[in-house]
Structure 1
């Protein structure tokens, strides 16, 4: 497996998709989106499913399929690809299997990252399949953001909590630094990944993207880039499935144990600066 993973490619970008009992048609669709982008030199399919599907998915020489045989979790599985690609590529993209995009967006994002070398992570505009905006630019969470809003605090207070945390005042039409960007499509500079490491594998699922973007933000800019868009089905599984809800709650506890429940100076400063930045852009 090591030789297959570590082959040197001259192209600038690698990408990884983590699979777990996914619909084959959905997976093949996102694979083709990635392969149509000529800048992507290697696409890693890291499969946590029970069944080995290497023959189904290795239909292109740029695909590297790794079957784990057990569910490592989201971050740990992506780390398999990150470890393999980090010395061979300038950029790595974390892609959800329910993502769709036009191939030209990769070259646009590469060009922007090449121009602004102080950016560590870039997130494009994320849309639902019908074109509706997904508000995935957020502040760094506090316990109230995650627990109160998830378990249904009613009325105006909940609306106020959501409005500030989800940056409802932001129109999503400007390039801006944001401290909390979604993990459904993460365009990351590998030089920064070398400094901060990959995903924290203590999170089985949920909050690992918040944690990684936060660590990247200590070394470089983390930027929302609305010049290009991707489409994301966005299942919100933890709102529908008790097992996924348990993963979400456990990850939230681990996140706040690591970064601080009440006393988190960095969170306070980052969120304050973000709100001031957005207010100045709305004037």
Structure 2
């Protein structure tokens, strides 16, 4: 992405910024994320006659240093590395970028997301046309092209147990219950849905003023449920929109499949979440 002028630089800084938190990242996957982000930002900047947006890459890794220049050598992004803080958790990592940015929009992005080339053009066009919306969530696809249903109704503890820990072979009796939790009755490929109660933190496009008003993520969550918490608080100050014309591919997995440490983190964060917003067992 080439910088055209000083005014273009200023325009870009006001338009959008991006933050990605990485902890021992999968190299090839992060390269794909940065490449597709670069392409999507390139299209956005052409449409808005702006320069490249800043990407805050937060290194939460605590082991051997990463050669970021080698990892990002094919990307033309303007990258600011934030590191040295250790592994402070997902939400607090993003907060380090949120407190630095002064953009009009800020994109919270996972390092396992691939963006369609026109994803940001579609997203910013929608946000510009709907000033009441403070948070946009996209249509999220699996590796095989099937839709991931990551918009959620308020969960019961039983819903989380079924979805997170019950083997797929044993979930069939609870399919209707899970379908309702995952909003499959309203979340689809065509219709915009306003105010889904909860959306995924893998791709959250915010108006920066809304994000700052909320104070970013609640730092009490180390991992898991920080996006649930942030979405529910967003409804107090702005509207939330699911916009299926904005499309991304998500390579993420469930907590149970990642080992005992992730299971403990999931349970600890769930406890904090329900203590704050109210327990619902069944």
2:6 alignment counterpart: none
Distance 2:114 2:158 in 1: 33
Shift of the alpha carbon at 1:146?
A: 1.9
| Aligned-partner SS, 1:144 | helix
Distance 1:183 1:136 in 2: 9
Deviates further, 96-105 or 75-84: 96-105
Q: In 2, are the aligned partners of 1:34 and 1:43 still within 8 Å (CA)?
A: no
Matched, 1:242 2:260: yes
Aligned residues: 254
Distance 1:14 1:35 in 2: 12
Distance 1:201 1:230 in 2: 27
Unaligned runs of 5+ in 2: 1-8, 46-51
| Aligned-partner SS, 2:86 | coil
2:28 alignment counterpart: 25
2:181 corresponds to which of 162, 165, 178: 165
2:89 alignment counterpart: 73
Against the structure 1 CA distance between its residues 58 and 130, is the aligned structure 2 distance closer, same or farther, given a 3 Å change threshold? Answer: closer
Distance 1:180 1:233 in 2: 20
| Aligned-partner SS, 1:180 | coil
Unaligned runs of 5+ in 1: 1-7, 264-283
Q: Deviations over 1:250-269 (max 9, x none)?
A: 00000011111149xxxxxx
1:196 corresponds to which of 214, 218, 223: 214
Q: Deviations over 1:157-208 (max 9, x none)?
A: 6334312211232351210121111111111111111221100111110000
1:130 alignment counterpart: 144
Against the structure 1 CA distance between its residues 102 and 206, is the aligned structure 2 distance closer, same or farther, given a 3 Å change threshold? Answer: same
With normalisation by structure 2, the TM-score equals 0.83
Q: Deviations over 1:7-56 (max 9, x none)?
A: x8531010111101112222122112222213451001001112333443
| Aligned-partner SS, 2:265 | helix
CA RMSD of aligned residues (A): 2.2
Distance 1:193 1:62 in 2: 22
